[in-house]
Structure 1
């Protein structure tokens, strides 16, 4: 049985439920919990949460509140994620038709926040450090959900290009030919483990 989903014309599935938690507060935010994906061969990427060095953390403390996760979904498919390949090939208008809340200014409630740093901590490639800034205030105002998703997908595309030249420490999550390719990645959410550090909650279609 095929599990292909037409991203331009998704239908609402009666069993579309999830145990994903978006709990967060000014002093604590949970890492992504397990989700019930409708596609059987979709698995969450087991990234480790970013934490700064113990010495720096103990001397500086937490200066800013953490934020609730920002989710990315095809319309009608809550907590199932959004294919990264689609984010790279679709234009603004198409994404508005495909993505739930595409035009939402997801960080407009944080006027002090001008940019965030996305950290990719792919299992087996922890030695391939990836931390890049994303401007969250654009010339058009606070960044939209769709524009933020595109920026995240672009980071993962570039990371995959770099990582496939590296030797992984864990063969299960190997990137490149015969392993996991960018086309298999699904962006589920973006969450905030510390200060301005953010990580994408990613799933892989095996």
Structure 2
């Protein structure tokens, strides 16, 4: 233990548990979602734990107009046209990530599929940014790509297994995106289980 003659000693019980990745790992509580939705537990990005987020961005939240909870169906993002998505999303035409970022990297960490180490990128015009609706549609496509690979891969956690008899693409709800560090983002996803 280090003793500083100018300041009193800080006891272990007074240390903070704060982590720069904390909000990205904790995300939304299940209690704020409909009863049949369950947030996918987030897995910390191990390679990034030692890095400091030099330019942290606020989370990007996806909310549908006229609905009281956040989130948009990934199926809607894939099947709807580019004219419909901006009208469906609250702030669909709002511009994000303006100011120098040329791409955002997205890592999908899904319990049971950590071995896939699946990451992708979305191009961003550094001077113009990217409209929320365009970002949402791109994310829908990227989640679909991840799902297409994962549903035929080994899963070490039966509760979160993807596939026709397990968690289906139609059940996935994109809630938000969290900046974990630098240009890296992590999707917060909920699963809409059949109502009970």
Give the TM-score, by structure 2 length. 0.80
Regions of 4+ moved over 3 Å? 35-38
Match of 1:41 among 36, 48, 56: 36
- Give the Cα separation in 1 of the matches to 2:67 and 2:30: 12
In structure 1, the partner of 2:105 is 117
Preserved contact between residue 37 and residue 80 of structure 1 (Cα < 8 Å): no
> Which residue of 2 is the match for residue 148 of structure 1?
135
**2: CA distance, partners of 1:80 / 1:162:** 27
Task: Give yes or no for contact 1:50–1:197 (8 Å, CA) kept in 2.
Answer: no
Alignment correspondent of 1:164: 151
Structure 1 residue aligned with 2:64: 74
1:1-206 aligned at under 5 Å gives the runs 30-31=23-24, 32-37=27-32, 39-52=34-47, 57=50, 62=52, 64-108=54-98, 111-137=99-125, 141-206=128-193
Contact 1:72 1:79 in 2 (8 A): no
Q: Would you tell me which structure has more helix in proportion to its own residues? A: 2
CA distance change for structure 1 residues 63 and 100 in 2, over 3 Å: closer, same or farther?
Answer: closer
* RMSD over aligned Cα atoms: 2.1
Q: Deviations over 1:24-53 (max 9, x none)?
A: xxx676221315445321110112122426
SS of alignment partner, residue 147 of structure 2: helix
Residues 53 and 180, structure 2, Cα contact 8 Å, conserved in 1: no
| Matched residue count | 172
Which of these two proteins has the greater Rg computed from alpha carbons?
2
Deviates more, 1:188-197 or 1:33-42: 33-42
Q: Give TM-score scaled by structure 1 length.
A: 0.76
User: Can you give the 5+ residue segments of structure 2 that lack an aligned partner in the other structure?
Assistant: 1-19
**C-alpha spacing 1:28/1:65, structure 2 compared with 1 (3 Å):** farther
